[in-house]
């Protein structure tokens, strides 16, 4: 029996255990996972991938939970959608407290066959995590989930990479985080299709909303003509969830109306491909290089005998000779 083929069939048939196994293979960068994904890739491209990022404790998991419920239990006459949730935690190991907490917060979704929840933790480099998350999203897409919600913490490169993976990116803030507004200014606003001020029941919510509204007015109107929306929510009381859903649906409709969906899809795939190319070329370059030569070049660089560009030329020449 050819294991990738069997696994592929099981994933396409929506078998949860097979899907969980595949994601573990992908997380471990196991060649069997990659082989399975090669076959599954033709079945991807249908899911709406939604990234949810923002500062720690802002209420991302609570919102993801509420959104999943709203996709599963829509208003009458609307078809429920199936939902996969990936909680990405770059800091905690698998048994981390945050993920345990998420399981409690997402408890009411457990047992629903139309919901699949998976947490992913870093096993090393953050690049590895972003890669594994992209691969897991492809597996879930192929398995037929209509919506894939990806939760990440923070405002670093990992979030930007994961935002690049999403069709729609939500940035979640809570009131009273003065510094975070600076952080938002510094870049995360750039990636937000929808800005959510959660914990709108807390003091200072009005100020935060006003500050963000001001930034949006001066700020961008994205290249594809979407104006970032601002939504206030209280995830714990299910307030603002309908408005948030409406904003998400409006963004999806906006993307689908023109060529934006296809353009984002292509940009996503291009980013993924280029990350792979970069990694592979660096790996090949390193493999072709003698460590002694490399150390020698680094020494000459530090001694100012070579400039960085000269060092580069030397390394490239050495790699060509070696490879
Ligand atoms: N008052 C209030 N509390 C909330 C709201 N939403 C979430 N919380 C609480 O805030 C805490 C953090 O919520 P989470 O949903 O875990 O936040 P998170 O952003 O996923 O947290 P991390 O994943 O650890 O970064 C929990 O105790 C929630 O019950 C809200 O709208 N209002
Ligand atoms: Mg969380």
Spacing, Cα 230 to ligand 1 middle (Å): 19
Q: Does ligand 1 lie within 6 Å of residue 105's CB atom?
A: yes
Q: Does position 105 have pLDDT exceeding 90, yes or no? A: no
Phi (first) and psi of residue 204, to 5 degrees = 90, -5
Q: Which residues contact 80 (CB under 8 A, 6 or more apart)?
A: 71, 72, 73, 74, 114
Lowest-confidence segment of 1-5, 70-74, 92-96, 97-101 by average pLDDT: 92-96
DSSP character at residue 239: B
d(CA 105, CA 119): 13
8 Å CB contact between 32 and 133? no
Better-predicted residue by pLDDT, 220 or 244: 244
pLDDT of amino acid 94 = 42
Mean pLDDT (whole number) for 221-243:
89
d(CA 217, CA 250): 19
d(CA 177, CA 200): 13
Give the closest residue (by CA) to ligand 1 atom 9. 59
Mean pLDDT (whole number) for 118-141:
81
pLDDT of amino acid 156 = 66
Q: How confident is the model at residue 292 (pLDDT cuts 50, 70, 90)?
A: very high
Give the closest residue (by CA) to ligand 1 atom 2. 199
Mean pLDDT (whole number) for 188-198:
87
Q: Report the share of the chain in percent with pLDDT over 90.
A: 50
Query: Token digits for 28?
Result: 């471990």
Beta bridge partners of 147: 48, 83
Q: What angle do CA 216, 171, 22 make, to 5 degrees?
A: 150
Please write the tens of the pLDDT for every residue from 5-18: 899 999 999 999 99
pLDDT of amino acid 288 = 84
Query: Token digits for 297?
Result: 């070049």
Choice from 53, 55, 62, 231 to test ligand 1 binding pocket (greatest atom count within 8 A of CB): 62
What's the chain's average pLDDT?
Answer: 85
Give the closest residue (by CA) to ligand 1 atom 28. 59
Q: Is 172 helix (H, G, I), strand (E, B) or coil?
A: strand
pLDDT of amino acid 95 = 40
d(CA 63, CA 236): 8
Q: Does ligand 1 lie within 6 Å of residue 175's CB atom?
A: no
Q: Does ligand 1 lie within 6 Å of residue 174's CB atom?
A: no
Mean pLDDT (whole number) for 279-299:
90
Q: Does position 97 have pLDDT exceeding 50, yes or no? A: no
What are the angstrom distances between the C-alpha of 220 and each of 9, 77, 210?
44, 36, 17
pLDDT of amino acid 271 = 83
Mean pLDDT (whole number) for 274-299:
90
pLDDT of amino acid 96 = 40
Phi/psi zone of residue 238: left (φ > 0), alpha (ψ -120 to 50 degrees), beta?
left
pLDDT of amino acid 224 = 74
Q: Is 195 helix (H, G, I), strand (E, B) or coil?
A: strand
Residue carrying structure tokens 């209280």: 234
CB atoms closer than 10 angstroms to residue 313: 12
Choice from 236, 237, 241, 244 to test ligand 1 binding pocket (greatest atom count within 8 A of CB): 236
pTM: 0.87
Nearest Cα to Cα of residue 47 among 176, 154, 174, 137: 137
d(CA 188, CA 184): 5
Handedness of CA 30, 85, 61, 195 (dihedral sign): positive
Q: Does ligand 1 lie within 6 Å of residue 202's CB atom?
A: yes
Lowest-confidence segment of 80-89, 95-104, 177-186 by average pLDDT: 95-104
Query: Token digits for 105?
Result: 């917060």
């Amino acid at each position: 029996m050819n294991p990738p083929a069997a696994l592929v069939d099981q994933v396409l048939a929506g078998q949860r255990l097979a899907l969980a196994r595949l994601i573990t293979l992908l997380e471990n960068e196991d060649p069997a996972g990659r082989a399975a994904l090669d076959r599954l890739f033709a079945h991807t491209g249908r899911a709406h991938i939604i990234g949810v990022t923002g500062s720690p404790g802002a209420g991302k998991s609570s919102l993801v939970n509420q959104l999943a419920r709203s996709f599963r239990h829509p208003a009458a006459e609307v078809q429920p959608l199936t939902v996969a949730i990936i909680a990405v935690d770059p800091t905690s190991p698998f048994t981390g407290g945050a993920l345990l907490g998420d399981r409690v917060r997402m408890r009411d979704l457990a047992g629903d066959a139309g919901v699949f929840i998976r947490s992913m933790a870093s096993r090393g480099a953050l690049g590895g995590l972003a890669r594994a998350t992209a691969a897991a999203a492809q597996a879930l897409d192929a398995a037929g989930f209509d919506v894939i919600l990806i939760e990440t913490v923070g405002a670093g490169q990992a979030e930007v990479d994961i935002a690049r993976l999403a069709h729609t990116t939500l940035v979640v803030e809570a009131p009273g985080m003065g510094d975070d507004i600076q952080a938002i200014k510094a870049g995360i606003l750039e990636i937000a299709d929808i800005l959510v001020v959660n914990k709108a029941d807390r003091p200072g919510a009005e100020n935060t909303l006003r500050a963000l509204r001001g930034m949006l007015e001066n700020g961008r109107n994205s290249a594809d003509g979407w104006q970032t929306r601002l939504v206030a929510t209280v995830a714990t009381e299910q307030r603002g969830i309908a408005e948030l859903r409406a904003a998400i649906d409006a963004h999806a409709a906006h993307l689908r109306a023109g060529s934006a969906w296809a353009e984002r899809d292509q940009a996503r795939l291009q980013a993924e491909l280029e990350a792979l190319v970069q990694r592979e070329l660096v790996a090949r370059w390193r493999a072709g290089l003698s460590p002694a030569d490399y150390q020698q070049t680094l020494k000459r660089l530090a001694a100012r005998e070579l400039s960085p560009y000269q060092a580069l030329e030397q390394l490239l020449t050495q790699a060509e000779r070696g490879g």
